[in-house]
Amino acid sequence: MKIITWNCNMAFRKKAGAILAYNPDILVVPECEHPDKLKFSDDVQKPTDICWFGENTNKGLGIFSYNHFKLKRIRTHNPAFKMIVPIAVTGGNVAFTLFAVWANNPADPDGVYVEQVWKAINHYRLSKKHTILAGDFNSNTIWDRKYRIGNHSHVVDLLHKKGITSCYHLHFDQLQGKEQHPTHYLYRHQDKPYHLDYCFASADLTCKIQSVEIGEFDYWKQYSDHVPVIVNFADD
């Protein structure tokens, strides 16, 4: 099973072919337009299922499944946490819950970005099994505010207590805040790199990681200020 998250920087319909060349089973796309605007060319693979969330039809959170995988929004979804959306994923060898993430809520006085993730993971009863969080967290330990509850390190620590860890950091033996592979380049400038996009998974899934790939700036800069995070899990 291959899971990819990629902030497409809008106009996904014009860029879908580039990411679909990597043959995802599950694709999380922050800054994706509403499905009514997704007019794919004939040579682009069509998804099995689409879930989309947002208020701006040009810029929301899209989740796509391919092959035999199916998606369904979990009824306990609380739209107050923008945009962290629980999705039931079925059709594979193991059913799991995907929390698709585009941490971005300018209306919340408690915090726009990682604070949304903090609130969501405290609200939902995250299982220690069959759980994945993937998307643009808009956060990194380097921006932790020491006395603010719900910073990036707090999120990582709480997930860790549940046995949920970052696939990238586990696979490459990296420390939070010391990442060697950026996922975002501010203004598409190579000298402004940050690691903002993540795929966290429970221990029953991380033990099946076969590969983790971070996209190359030189190729992806033509499409977005973010590069994809690609995680391949072995099937049972």
| pLDDT at 42 (0 to 100) | 84
Residue numbers of the chain with a pLDDT score lower than 50: none
| pLDDT at 40 (0 to 100) | 83
Nearest to 229 by CA among 207, 213, 210, 208: 213
217 vs 226: CA distance, rounded Å: 8
User: Whose structure tokens read 């060319």?
Assistant: 41
| pLDDT at 215 (0 to 100) | 98
Model pTM?
0.97
Q: Which domains does the chain have, with CATH numbers?
A: 2-233 (3.60.10.10)
The answer to whether residues 146 and 137 touch, using CB atoms and an 8 Å cutoff, is: no
pLDDT tens for 62-83 read 999 999 999 999 999 998 988 9
Phi, then psi, of 55 in degrees rounded to 5? -110, -25
| pLDDT at 146 (0 to 100) | 81
User: Whose structure tokens read 């405290």?
Assistant: 122
| pLDDT at 229 (0 to 100) | 99
